[in-house]
């Protein structure tokens, strides 16, 4: 379980974040959920590797993607051999829930001296606010991050801080002054 700050650039925050939801937690079965073939892994480790031991069928017509097989299924032939195993997930998952501000409420120092979780670019005092870059940025529904966030705030493939700082600033420096910037507390 980890919390991390994400800067969302522009309007419709929910729409921009949706491609990165963790299906197993959000339970939202949308266009971002894919059926990943895990047959070889299950042959090696067993069906319980993906929790499919009680989600078996003998043919594709028996698959109930709305209920019993929402998160995956295994097709077993009449001799008990594994034909196919599928994990239904969003391979681009980054968060299992989020909220505006959260642990980073009042992140932005505004030019009028107040603090806020969101504001137009022209209202934000960047000299003070952006000395600490957020973990990730979502701009035009594209996710940019300084590493892969895992549980307990463990980060894999973390970029050099100077490289991330330059990338972070390049994502916001040429934005229109009317662009909405929002800090989101994401959890995974």
Helix or strand or coil: residue 22? coil
Residue 101 CA from chain centroid, whole number: 17
At residue 128 the predicted structure's pLDDT band, cuts being 50, 70 and 90, is confident
Rounded to an integer, what distance in angstroms lies between the CA atom of residue 20 and that of residue 155? 17
Domain positions in the chain: 3-24+93-187, 34-89
Question: For residue 145, what pLDDT is reported?
Answer: 87
Q: Is the pLDDT of residue 171 over 70?
A: yes
Using an 8 Å Cβ cutoff, are 133 and 5 in contact?
A: no
Task: Enumerate residues 6+ apart whose C-beta is below 8 A from 153.
Answer: 2, 3, 4
Rounded to an integer, what distance in angstroms lies between the CA atom of residue 29 and that of residue 35? 11
Mean pLDDT over 128-137 rounds to 81
Question: For residue 127, what pLDDT is reported?
Answer: 81
Query: What mean pLDDT is reported for the chain?
Result: 91
Using an 8 Å Cβ cutoff, are 53 and 101 in contact?
A: no
Question: For residue 130, what pLDDT is reported?
Answer: 67
At residue 135 the predicted structure's pLDDT band, cuts being 50, 70 and 90, is confident
Whose CA is closest to 95, among 9, 13, 17, 181? Answer: 17
At residue 155 the predicted structure's pLDDT band, cuts being 50, 70 and 90, is very low
Instruction: Note the residue count of the chain.
Output: 188
Q: Interior CA angle at 17 toward 16 and 21, to 5°?
A: 145
Give residue-wise pLDDT tens across range 31-80: 999 999 999 999 999 999 999 999 999 999 999 999 999 999 999 999 99
| Ranges 8-12, 67-71, 142-146: which has the least confidence | 142-146
Higher pLDDT, 135 or 69: 69
Please give the share of the chain, as a percent, with pLDDT higher than 90: 78
Q: What are the b/e assignments for 116-149, b being 16+ CB within 10 Å?
A: bbbbebebbeeeebbeebbbbbbbeeebbbbeeb
pTM: 0.86
Q: Is the pLDDT of residue 156 over 70?
A: no
């Amino acid at each position: 379980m980890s919390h991390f700050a994400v800067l969302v650039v522009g309007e419709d925050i929910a729409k921009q974040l949706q491609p990165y939801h963790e299906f197993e937690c959000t339970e939202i079965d949308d266009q971002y959920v894919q059926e990943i073939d895990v047959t070889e892994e299950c042959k090696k480790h067993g069906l319980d590797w993906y929790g499919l031991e009680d989600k078996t069928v003998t043919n594709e017509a028996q698959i109930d993607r709305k209920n019993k097989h929402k998160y995956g299924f295994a097709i077993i032939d009449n001799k008990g051999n594994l034909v196919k195993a599928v994990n239904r997930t969003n391979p681009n998952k980054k968060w299992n829930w989020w909220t505006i501000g959260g642990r980073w409420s009042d992140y932005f120092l505004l030019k009028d001296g107040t603090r806020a979780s969101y504001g137009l670019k022209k209202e934000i005092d960047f000299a003070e606010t952006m000395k600490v870059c957020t973990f990730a940025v979502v701009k035009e529904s594209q996710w940019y991050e300084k590493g892969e966030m895992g549980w307990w705030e463990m980060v894999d493939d973390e970029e050099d801080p100077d490289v991330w700082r330059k990338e972070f600033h390049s994502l916001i420096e040429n934005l229109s002054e009317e662009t909405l910037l929002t800090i989101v507390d994401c959890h995974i």
